[in-house]
Amino acid sequence: MLISHLLGLAIAANAGAPSALTIENCDFGEVMAFATAKCVVELSNGGDKIIRVSAIKAVKEGVTAHADAVVVPPHAKAYLDTSVDVGNAVGAVSYAFRLDTNEAGHPERSVRGSGFVLTTLDQARPEVDLGVVDLAAVARSKKAIMLSSHEIPAFRITRILEKPDWLDAEIASDGAELAVNARTDASLGLHDGFVKLEINTPRQKQVWISVKADIHGDIVPSANPLDMGLMRFGNRNEHMIRLTERSGRDFGVGKLQLEGIKGTLKQMPCEPVAKGCRMIRLTVSDQQPSGTLKGRIWVDLPGLHQRLPISLWGWIVAKDLKIGKIGPDTEQSTREGAATGPMSPAASAPNSLQTALKGVAAEAQAKVQPAPPGKGPLLKWTITNGNEVHGFQIFRATSETGPYLILNPTPVAAVKQAASYTYQWRDNAAERGKTYWYYIGMIKLDGSKQQLSGPQKVVAK
């Protein structure tokens, strides 16, 4: 889809008098999901007057920030101690915040806080998509998701903290699986929400599972959501939506309501005219503000005593605006490729740790990390491009079949370079003469986890 990519828009703004206050973005490093990160913002006052910085607020919904007011003396520095609740985030994050100041002409300033959010789960972003759910056969929509964590020997979901009201959820007897199903009284249309769970890992006390569904009744829209694509002001920005009664019976349409978008709706007959068919024409107004469009059509179905929501999204810009698109870098960051599942022993990787981690002959020319001190088993691995990697974790078991537990909760940091690099890590906690099995796990910048090798047997010397 055209607007599945980011669209870059150049916006000119009239610059006023330059601000005397210089604000440095802050880095809060690594933090666990649902934790509070500490971020120190450096403020420099190059002017002759005191500047007071007061309220701080996050731009992104669902992210909160807290900070006490601070006074920045003339020609001096001050520091704003900020705490950021990262919530359900995972991976590399960067949050924008607004700061209120008393500086004339600059009452509001911006700053960014960046860092990396880790999760104890092997699944970085657990999700269940129920797909299209027919209310007449809702029992068939039931799906289950298995969660796991290599942080403790017996991972369990301990209880359900919260769930959407359109959903039923149940923890399996083993405590590692959650089953979800749309309720028979769920409203029509697209649904998404989180099932919030309490878990028994020491470093992270909860996890959220994203659940999605498209609930269908007797009357179904031709598209939901309706992708209106890229529109331009001055054009005839019309879109047709077909409503069909699945058994072919006639039906009536009541009030039509447009939410979140400026425009008009009109009910029309289908062409050719057919029983069990109605059309809705949506016309987007030129009074609509430019940029992203996100809204909804509500269709009253009086014969069924239901309201059918149809989600809308698109983009509208000036008629002569030139647009460029920015897409993600899809290049592989490591030679091992993608795994079949997060941290799974069945991942598509070589069976031998020695084979997987020694890599190609070019490894001989790779930069090598110094070996850590000690006498425990020394593990070595090489990747060819670390630019999309956050770090590495080492897992150990006393038998080939596991269970495997993480040895370094704080990952070995990846070297950000598009060249081969060899890492070394030593297990100084290994007992001499004891047999262990190891494998290496990789955490990518998006928070996803991948196993780099199959288990390898090592006898500690």
Task: Give the pLDDT confidence score for residue 378 in this predicted structure.
Answer: 94
Task: Give the pLDDT confidence score for residue 6 in this predicted structure.
Answer: 36
User: Regarding the domain delimited by 17-118, which CATH topology (the fold level of the hierarchy) does it fall under?
Assistant: Immunoglobulin-like (2.60.40)
- Give the Cβ contact number of residue 309 at 10 Å: 20
CATH architecture of 127-216: Sandwich (2.60)
- Give the Cβ contact number of residue 258 at 10 Å: 18
Task: Give the pLDDT confidence score for residue 355 in this predicted structure.
Answer: 52
Domain 353-459 has CATH 3.30.70: no
Q: Which residues have a Cβ under 8 Å from the Cβ of 242 and sit 6 or more positions away? A: 221, 222, 270, 277, 278, 279
Q: Per DSSP, what are the bridge partners of residue 207?
A: 197
Cα gap 72→99, rounded to integer Å: 13
Instruction: Check if the beta carbon of residue 453 is closer than 8 Å to that of residue 354.
Output: no
Task: Give the pLDDT confidence score for residue 353 in this predicted structure.
Answer: 54
Domain with CATH 2.60.40.10 in the chain: 17-118, 127-216, 221-325
Q: Are strands 26-32 and 108-118 parallel, antiparallel or unpaired?
A: parallel
Task: Give the pLDDT confidence score for residue 11 in this predicted structure.
Answer: 32
Residue in the block written with tokens 């900020």:
82
- State the Cα angle at 298 between 292 and 302, rounded to 5°: 170
Cα gap 10→317, rounded to integer Å: 12
Task: Give the pLDDT confidence score for residue 367 in this predicted structure.
Answer: 84
Q: Beta-strand (E) ranges in 217-346?
A: 219-221, 226-232, 238-245, 256-259, 263-268, 277-284, 291-301, 306-317, 324-326
Q: For the chain, list residues with pLDDT below 50.
A: 1-15, 326-351, 359-364
Cα gap 410→205, rounded to integer Å: 18
Task: Give the pLDDT confidence score for residue 156 in this predicted structure.
Answer: 96
Task: Give the pLDDT confidence score for residue 133 in this predicted structure.
Answer: 94
Picking from 137, 141, 191, the residue whose alpha carbon sits closest to that of residue 163 is: 191
Please report the DSSP string for 350-382 in residue order: -S-HHHHHH-SGGGGGSEEPPPPSSSSPEEEEE
Q: Are strands 435-444 and 389-397 parallel, antiparallel or unpaired?
A: antiparallel
**Token pair belonging to 273:** 């005219």
Instruction: Check if the beta carbon of residue 143 is closer than 8 Å to that of residue 128.
Output: yes
Task: Give the pLDDT confidence score for residue 140 in this predicted structure.
Answer: 77
Cα gap 356→333, rounded to integer Å: 15
Task: Give the pLDDT confidence score for residue 453 in this predicted structure.
Answer: 80
Phi, psi dihedrals of residue 3, rounded to the nearest 5°: -95, 20
Task: Give the pLDDT confidence score for residue 283 in this predicted structure.
Answer: 97
Task: Give the pLDDT confidence score for residue 452 in this predicted structure.
Answer: 87
221-325: what CATH class? Answer: mainly beta
Q: Beta-strand (E) ranges in 318-453?
A: 324-326, 367-368, 378-383, 389-397, 405-406, 412-413, 421-426, 435-444, 449-451
Task: Give the pLDDT confidence score for residue 364 in this predicted structure.
Answer: 44
**Token pair belonging to 51:** 């500047």
Instruction: Check if the beta carbon of residue 218 is closer than 8 Å to that of residue 203.
Output: no
